């Protein structure tokens, strides 16, 4: 189901959802803090090589390169080495179901149950190239067995990506941006990490991230506004 189209001005977005909740478990200060983390370098990324175009246009659900795996591992080391790193405080890690995001999640946060893990197609990349086509839950679990126990896995459809949507719908998928924001606002957690994709995150907050780059945003639970932070949350 498609949400409502919205107009954005800068990085300010209007309120939204799945599912709408009468009591969205508001935070004590009315603010949710969300770390948007782009996946590590994939075979489809131009930073990889000139063969990226081949993977971009012909290969489904591209994986991380060895460089991308190293980027995710470096992020884990950075988190581990810094006791004050704000990612220590996240209560749930939400991953796009694309393999490059799942692998980044596993390498950066470890293959454990804490913080809680979740799969959400709302965090997937804009489906405009072959590399953005996903795989079935069974195929994902064959490569990443632990995802079968993640929140959202059981509800994942065999075709969960935007295969049937038009190029214009997916090039700037503001309806899905709104649904994504509503999902975050409807969750009980105050501190959330989302591992996803450069194109979709740019539509959400106006910032284009490098591979394994992080930007923090604050969501106001009262009016649904989004504020992009220049650095770490205080």
Neighbours of 171 (CB within 10 A): 13
DSSP at 51: T
Nearest to 14 by CA among 229, 194, 233, 220: 220
More confident residue, 201 or 170: 201
More confident residue, 4 or 145: 145
What sign does the CA torsion over 21, 86, 225, 199 have? negative
pLDDT tens for each residue of 122-150: 999 988 887 889 999 999 999 999 999 99
CB proximity list for 29: less than 8 A, separation 6 or greater: none
pLDDT tens for each residue of 150-194: 999 999 999 998 777 777 777 888 899 999 999 999 999 999 999
pTM of the model: 0.83
Dist CA 93 CA 139 (whole Å): 21
């Amino acid at each position: 189901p498609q949400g409502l189209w919205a107009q954005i001005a800068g990085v300010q977005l209007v309120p939204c959802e799945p599912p709408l909740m009468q009591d969205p478990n508001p935070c004590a200060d009315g603010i949710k803090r969300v770390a948007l983390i782009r996946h590590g370098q994939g075979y489809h990324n131009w930073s990889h090589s000139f063969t990226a175009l081949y993977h971009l246009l012909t290969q489904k659900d591209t994986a991380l390169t060895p460089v991308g795996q190293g980027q995710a591992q470096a992020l884990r080391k950075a988190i581990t080495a810094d006791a004050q790193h704000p990612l220590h405080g996240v209560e749930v890690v939400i991953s796009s179901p694309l393999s490059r995001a799942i692998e980044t999640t596993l390498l950066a946060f470890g293959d454990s149950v804490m913080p809680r893990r979740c799969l959400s197609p709302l965090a997937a990349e804009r489906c405009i190239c072959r590399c953005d086509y996903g795989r079935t839950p069974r195929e994902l679990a064959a490569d990443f067995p632990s995802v079968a126990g993640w929140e959202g896995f059981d509800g994942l459809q065999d075709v969960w990506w935007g295969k049937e949507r038009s190029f214009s719908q997916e090039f700037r998928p503001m309806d899905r941006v709104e649904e994504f924001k509503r999902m975050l606002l409807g969750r009980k957690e105050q501190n959330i990490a989302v591992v996803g994709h450069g194109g979709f995150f740019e539509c959400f907050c106006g910032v284009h991230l490098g591979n394994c780059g992080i930007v923090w945003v604050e969501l106001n639970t009262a009016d649904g506004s989004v504020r992009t932070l220049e650095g770490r949350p205080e």
